[in-house]
Amino acid sequence: MGLKAVVVTVLLAAALSYYVYNPMPDAIQEPWKLMAVDAAFRTGINLAALKYHLGIDHYITSFRRTMQGFDSTMVALLGSRSPAGVVPGVKVSDITFAGVPVRVYEPPAGGEGHLRRGLLYLHGGGWAFGSGKMGAYDKVGRMISDELNTVVVSVDYRLFPEVLFPEPFLDCAAAAKHFLSPEVLDKYAIDPERVAVSGDSAGGNLAAAIAQEVAADDSVPVKFSVQALIYPVLQALDFNTPSYVQNRNMAILPRQVMVQFWLQYLGADISLQPQLIANNHSALQHSVLTPELRSRLDWTSLLSQKFKKSYKPVVAERDSHGLLKKIPGLLDVRSSPLLAGPEVLAKCPRAYILTCEFDVLRDDGLMYARRLKDAGVSVTSDYYEDGFHGCLSFTSWPLDFDVGKRALRNYMTWLQNNL
């Protein structure tokens, strides 16, 4: 049996084993493959949770090792097929920026006097998993560096459970400001007018927050010229937006998992998960949630009818658990960039925001795009009717999806034309 047949067999076995069949939306191409990926993720998470309950290991670090092992296996098996292997001119260095580990991708020399683009990339993973050095991120970093003549800096910020909010944000801010310093830009021959910040999922959250931070910091002379956000998570006050409800049981990132990521990141008790899913933390009784603040994430006015459909807002009357006092980070714009005021958004760089129909975070991105536009910022909204959360990471055989390939190519084309 050939390698391809073996891998397909394993994926099918994972899809069929242990879990009850979970039908995928009709628009998803090769649904069996997404089922397999989701089943593998859930199996790994459940095994990690079992080890945790047995006192063997923390569930996060255990699942990280599983992910790293899978990533290493795929690289070893498929290295000769990987696009990363066909860009030998890219120089890769693992160093630190302001004490924060980063991987720097430098394109082939472009000749004396040729300035290059710069891009700071922040990986996803629920502020708990992932690394810019892992397969999919490494591949994209090399591709962008080579094809777009760009110095790419991928930041390995600290993660839960080792640290909590705001430490990941502070790591990214430190690395960003170091990267934007005239000395570093000069060292890497980067055009100070062509520097971007980008990230996906939790990394998109950090990228949006860093774009706001840098735009408002007068001590940073060089600003990001663009921000490119890939299915970003941008708020934690409403877990009943149309996309959260529609995709509450969707593969890769169901609603309960996203809420758990938030609770972990903000240092809160996981037992509060049902309260947040019911939106009890944003109850009407809270005087701090003024009408103006609520309007910043009011999907009934920020989304078009295409996305609102027939869904209704879920607003609790009372917060009997005092959740906003227990979890103050819920209202911090560094964790929830969608809560920033219009005066902050007006200073932000032009934006590219990628969203997917089958993603609980779809409406976060759409609402942010609308608010940035209302603040006078130029925004390109790139929406995929057949897209799902994480699709940009699935572009290489055997875990390749056509929507992922299209999304990656369109993302790179936008950077080429706007950076």
Class of domain 91-235+350-418: alpha beta
pTM summary value: 0.92
Residue 126 has pLDDT above 80, yes or no: yes
Residue 135 has pLDDT above 50, yes or no: yes
93 an active-site residue?
A: no
| DSSP structure class, residue 152 | E
> In terms of Cα–Cα distance, which of 305, 319, 367, 313 is closest to 339?
367
Average pLDDT, the chain: 90
CA distances from 136 to 15, 49, 277, 309 (A): 22, 25, 31, 34
Residue 313 has pLDDT above 70, yes or no: yes
Confidence class for position 181, pLDDT limits 50, 70, 90: very high
389 an active-site residue?
A: yes
pLDDT value, residue 87: 67
pLDDT value, residue 80: 41
pLDDT value, residue 284: 75
Chain segment 187-204, per-residue pLDDT in tens: 999 999 999 999 999 999
201 an active-site residue?
A: yes
Euclidean distance between the first and the last CA atom of the chain, given in angstroms as a whole number: 46
Catalytic residue of the set 201, 225, 243, 336:
201
Residue 82 has pLDDT above 70, yes or no: no
- Between 221 and 54, the more confident residue is 221
Residue 152 has pLDDT above 50, yes or no: yes
- CB of 208 closer than 8 Å to CB of 234: yes
Domain ranges of the chain: 30-79, 91-235+350-418, 242-331
Q: Which two tokens stand for residue 272?
A: 């509060």
pLDDT value, residue 4: 55
- CB of 118 closer than 8 Å to CB of 150: yes
Lowest mean pLDDT among 9-23, 126-140, 279-293, 366-380: 9-23
Catalytic residue of the set 123, 178, 281, 389:
389
